[in-house]
Structure 1
Amino acid sequence: MTKSLGMTIVEAISEVMNDNSDGMTDKEIYNAIITKKLYKFGALDPISAVRAKLRSHCVGLDFPSASNRKVFTVVKTVNKTKYYGLISKNYNSDKSDNKDTDLSEMLPEEKMIAAYAEHRQNMKLQLLDMILDNDSYFFEKMVVDLLLKMGYGYDKSSGIVTKRTRDGGIDGIIKGDPLGLDTILIQAKRNKTTNTVQRDKIDQFIGAIGERNKGVFITTSSFSDSAIKKANNSSKNIILIDGNKLTDLMLAYGAGATVTDQIAIYKIDEDYFN
C-alpha cells in the first residue's frame, strides 16, 4: 500500500523526471521522490511499485493491464539496466484517466484484494523482465523446469533441453515414461512483449514435431489470431502459452518466485450468532 502526499505515483515520477534528460533508473527515481518528499510509500518493496508504474505507462510495453495513457519511454539500456524518461516535459495528469484511484470509500477487504492484484501483476512483470534479461538458452531450461514442476514427466530427469545447434526447431523434450513412448516436445520463443508470434512459426513447429502428437509452444510475448487458429485446428495436440499465462504458471508452481507470506480475509459467520 502507498500513501499520497497530494499527488499520485505517476505524477511523482514525472515530477522528478522533468529536469532530467539523460534518463533515470527505477532506483534513482524512487530516491528522488523520497528526497523531495513527493510521495509516501507504505509498500514492502516501494521500488517495485515505482517499476510497475513505469512499465504500465511506458511506450512499447503493452500487456492486458497496462494503461492506455503512455507517459514514459525507455531512454537507454546499460548493462541490462533500463533508464526511463518522459515522453514530453511538464507532464500534467488527467485525473479521469489515472489508475491511482481514491481508495477511501473501499472496504478494507476490497483494498486488500486490489493491492494483491497489483502486487501479482507487478510480480509477473518482474518475472518477464528477468527472463528477457537472460539469454534464450536460460529460457529453454526454465520452461522445461516449469513443466516438470507442473507434474509432467516421470521424474526430475525426464526433462531434456536440446543442443543449441541442430535442434530441428525443438528446444526441449519431456518424457512421460522411461522409454519415451509418451513425449511432449517444446519450443520456447523469448520475444519482446511487442513481438507477436505469427502463424508461420506454428506451422514450422508442427512440422518439427513430425510423427509425435504433443507439443507446447511457449513465448514471452503473445500469439496472433491466425497462429491460435492454426494450433486449435491442427490434428496434433498443440498447446500455446503466452507471456501472461507463462507468468501465471510460474507463480502458481513456484518457478522463479516463492511465497513469502499469506493473508486470510474473514467474514462474519451469521449462523454462529443465531
Structure 2
Amino acid sequence: MAIPQYQDFMTPVLTAFQDNKPKNHSEVERIVVPQLHLTKEDCAQLLPSGTQTIVRNRLSWAIYYMYRAGLLQQQKRGVYIITEEGNKVLQSGKTINNAFLEQFPSFQAFQNKTNKEENKQEETDPATRISNAIEEFNKRTQLELLEQLKTVDPVFFEKICLQLMQSMGYGEKVSLTPKSHDGGIDGIINEDVLGLDKIYLQAKRYSTNKVNEKEMRDFVGALTLSQTQKGVFITTSYFDKKAIDMAARKNIILIDGDKLTSLMIRYNVGVQTKETYQIKELDLSFFSED
C-alpha cells in the first residue's frame, strides 16, 4: 500500500501520546504502524538517500509540526510529551493536518516564515532551493539543540563550550578551572604549546535569564586580574544591552544561544550527519571524442 503523507500521521501520532507519557520516535512508531495498517514491506522502504525509512521520516515531520503548534513539548532531544493543548485537541476528535494547526499562533508564525522562504525559492534555481532546504533542516536541529543545552549540567555545558572552541581551531590545550577557585573564569584555552597566549572563557547555561551588566563586569574583572586580553562569553540565552556595550569596549567576544547552536552545527559538536545526498550532472568529457 502507499505510505500515508506526513499530515496523515498527525492524528495517530498525537493519539500515541494520550497516556501523557514521554516517548521517542521509535516508541511512537511501534504504536502508529498498526493503526495505519502498514506492512513490514512499507516500514522497510527507504528514502532515496538510503539512510532513513520513509515511515520514520514522515512520522518525524508530523511530530515536528505538532511541536511547532504547541501540541507536543520536547523534554529532551528526540523525546516528546503531549501538552494540555494537545489533550484538548484529542478530546475534540478532529482530524489534525496543517490546515487545522493554523489556528495556533506559534504554528502561524512558523508557517509565515516558511511560506516566505518558499515564495523566495520559487524564483531561485534548483541548487539554491536545495541549499535553502538544508538550511531549514539545520534550523530545526538548532532549535532542538538549544533546548537540549538548556537541560544539561552546568559543568558539562562548560565542557561543551571548550570542545567547540577547540573544534573551531582555538587552542593547543583547553581546561576547566576548579569551581572553588575559578575567579570568574570557567575555562582556559592555551593558544600555543607553552601556554604563553591564553583565551579565557565564561559559560552561562540559562533557560530564560539574560546575561546582565554585573556578570559581564565580573568577567572583565577576572580578565584584568589575570592580565589576559582575550575573552569569550558564551550563553544559551542572550546578553542585555549594557552587557553588550561593556563587552564591546573590552573586546570580549559574545556568543548567544542562536550563534552557539549555529557554530555547533557548523563544527559538528553535539550533532551528526543524518543523510548525504549526491547530485549528478552530465559529464561532458565522457562524450568528447578528443
* Separation in 2, partners of 1:253, 1:147: 10
1:22 aligns to 2:20 (yes or no): yes
Residue deviations 1:127-148 (CA, integer Å, cap 9, x gap) = 3344344311111112112111
* Separation in 2, partners of 1:51, 1:219: 28
* Separation in 2, partners of 1:108, 1:34: 34
Deviation at 1:31, TM superposition (A): 4.9
The structure having more radius of gyration, on CA atoms, is 2
Aligned to 2:288: none
The counterpart of 1:115, out of the listed 130, 133, 148, is 133
Matched letter for residue 229 of structure 2: N
* Separation in 2, partners of 1:245, 1:161: 22
* Separation in 2, partners of 1:226, 1:51: 39
The aligned runs of 1:187-266 (5 Å cut-off) are: 187-192=202-207, 194-210=208-224, 211-232=227-248, 234=249, 236-259=250-273, 261-263=275-277
3-state SS of paired residue (2:179): coil
* Structure 1: 5+ residue stretches without partners: 59-70, 270-274
RMSD (Å) for aligned C-alpha atoms: 4.1
* Separation in 2, partners of 1:56, 1:6: 15
Deviation at 1:165, TM superposition (A): 2.0
3-state SS of paired residue (2:81): strand
* Separation in 1, partners of 2:163, 2:188: 11
The counterpart of 2:65, out of the listed 53, 58, 70, is 53
* Separation in 2, partners of 1:127, 1:170: 25
Aligned to 2:185: 170
- Structure number with higher helix proportion: 2
Aligned to 2:102: 94
* Separation in 2, partners of 1:225, 1:13: 46
* Separation in 1, partners of 2:251, 2:156: 26
* Separation in 1, partners of 2:101, 2:274: 35
Deviation at 1:161, TM superposition (A): 0.9
Matched letter for residue 116 of structure 1: I
* Separation in 1, partners of 2:279, 2:241: 39
3-state SS of paired residue (1:221): coil
3-state SS of paired residue (2:82): strand
Question: Is the 2:12–2:35 contact (alpha carbons within 8 Å) kept by the matching residues of 1?
Answer: no
* Separation in 2, partners of 1:6, 1:168: 52
Question: Is the 1:14–1:86 contact (alpha carbons within 8 Å) kept by the matching residues of 2?
Answer: no
Deviation at 1:173, TM superposition (A): 0.3
Number of positions where the alignment pairs a residue of Structure 1 with one of Structure 2: 244
Deviation at 1:189, TM superposition (A): 1.1
3-state SS of paired residue (2:164): helix
* Separation in 2, partners of 1:121, 1:13: 26
Q: 1:151 to 1:5 in 2, by over 3 A?
A: closer
Matched letter for residue 83 of structure 2: G
Deviation at 1:213, TM superposition (A): 1.2
* Structure 2: 5+ residue stretches without partners: 95-99, 284-290
Question: Is the 1:30–1:50 contact (alpha carbons within 8 Å) kept by the matching residues of 2?
Answer: no
Question: Is the 2:164–2:269 contact (alpha carbons within 8 Å) kept by the matching residues of 1?
Answer: yes
Residue deviations 1:64-95 (CA, integer Å, cap 9, x gap) = xxxxxxx5457xx69x9552324261374327
Q: 1:264 to 1:172 in 2, by over 3 A?
A: same
Matched letter for residue 23 of structure 2: T
Q: 1:6 to 1:176 in 2, by over 3 A?
A: closer
Aligned to 1:83: 81
* Separation in 1, partners of 2:33, 2:128: 28
Q: 1:13 to 1:160 in 2, by over 3 A?
A: farther
